[in-house]
Amino acid sequence: MHSPTAVPPSTPPALEIERGASLRAFNTFGLPAVAKALVRVRSEADVKRVVNHPELGIAPKFILGGGSNLVLTQDVDLCVLKLEIKGIRLLEAREDAWIVEVGAGESWHETVQWCLDHGLPGLENMALIPGTVGAAPVQNIGAYGVELKDRFESLDAVDLVTGRSITLNAAQCAFGYRDSVFKQHLQGKSVITTVRLRLPRPWVPVLGYLELERKMAETGIASPGPRQIFDWICEVRRAKLPDPSVVGNAGSFFKNPVVSAEQCRDIIGRDPEIVHYPLEDGSFKLAAGWMIDACGWKGKSIGRAGVYERQALVLVNRGGASGAEVVTLARAIQESVYGRFGIRLEPEPVVV
């Protein structure tokens, strides 16, 4: 990994434009689709060259990171920008936090590892989340009690209309549950090039999740360090989430729905077992995986798309599935959950 601010060569290489490019290898679901044009973006300057390009500049864009949160149901009649900006470095060691600057094209999990290897803890609960660093703020990734927004300083992005660089802080990113300004009004309008992570000092472990409490009880380790938590998270995730390099998938396929206290009481009245978590504002988050499981979907398939055997929230490609098959399965699940619980499940990945 190199510094993201490395000086570019004096004559930059021409943009690499691939017409009619297959996207199958670039989405973790392994779905077939062809892009009208695919451009590999390796620097902020490359993004600006795309904006100023006579043909690409005006073409509508689709921004592709690791393709781990994507369901391709058709060919993509857009200019796909594949973010490959590399680089990771410790930017600043403040008294209250380490600031780590990372290129958008770096792998998220490798970044978590790099930080641990350099004595910079704080990301361990988010180990093994697939995808790239640039995609992490888009849907405010999170796992086991920590979200990206809790470890975020700022990011740089390039406006795809003006070509201007902008820097956004956390408030400007408007992070929500698997949501940000990049899924709302900035969608398709700007490209994240660099992310600065904020790792608070002193390090404080986040151990409130049932699975981590279970590991502590099993091992008798009462005060685990960051490396221990990292190892446990990897074990927990490997036990219940499919490895996308083996079984095509996009992680959780649906968001966990948020309902009012009244709605929650109503559902508990009918289904006392339903897994639910109180939120600060008095509403409740329901476990979509539990509801899908309760509807009998775990391990089932429609065509070549299926529901993962060990976690009903994850849809998988059983081999050669099309995006249409995945969407058909997702709709059937939505209908049965609605029929039983009166809840409309919302997909988490971007469906194209």
Give the DSSP H or E segment for 98. Answer: strand 97-103
Say how far apart CA 172 and CA 156 lie, in whole Å: 12
Say how far apart CA 328 and CA 307 lie, in whole Å: 12
Say how far apart CA 164 and CA 191 lie, in whole Å: 11
Two tokens, residue 54: 């006579």
Query: Which one from 151, 178, 198, 237 is the annotated catalytic residue?
Result: 178
The reply to whether 143 sits near ligand EPU by the rule CB under 6 A is yes
Q: Among residues 201 and 298, whose Cβ is nearest to ligand EPU?
A: 298
8 Å CB contact between 129 and 141: yes
The reply to whether 226 sits near ligand EPU by the rule CB under 6 A is no
The reply to whether 21 sits near ligand EPU by the rule CB under 6 A is no
CA pseudo-torsion sign 99, 103, 105, 111: negative
Q: Which stretch binds ligand EPU (CB under 6 A): 15-23, 44-52, 219-227, 249-257?
A: 249-257
Q: Among residues 68 and 193, whose Cβ is nearest to ligand EPU?
A: 68
Residue 313 burial class via C-beta count within 10 angstroms: exposed 0-12, middle 13-18, buried 19 and up: buried
Nearest to 311 by CA among 256, 251, 271, 257: 251
Q: Which residues contact residue 302 at a Cβ distance below 8 angstroms, ignoring those fewer than 6 apart?
A: 325, 328, 329, 332
CA 211 vs. chain centroid, Å, equals: 21
Q: Among residues 89 and 285, whose Cβ is nearest to ligand EPU?
A: 285
For the bound state, the minimum distance from the C-beta of residue 275 to ligand EPU, rounded and expressed in Å, comes to 4
Using CB under 6 A as the criterion, what x/- string covers residues 52-91 for binding ligand EPU? ----------------------------------------
44, 147, 153, 348: which one binds ligand EPU (CB under 6 A): 348
Task: Tell which positions 273-292 bind ligand EPU, by CB under 6 A.
Answer: 275, 287, 289-290
154 is catalytic: no
The reply to whether 179 sits near ligand EPU by the rule CB under 6 A is no
252 is catalytic: yes
178 is catalytic: yes
Residues that bind ligand EPU (CB under 6 A): 143-144, 251-252, 255-256, 275, 287, 289-290, 293, 298, 311-313, 348
Catalytic site positions: 178, 252, 348
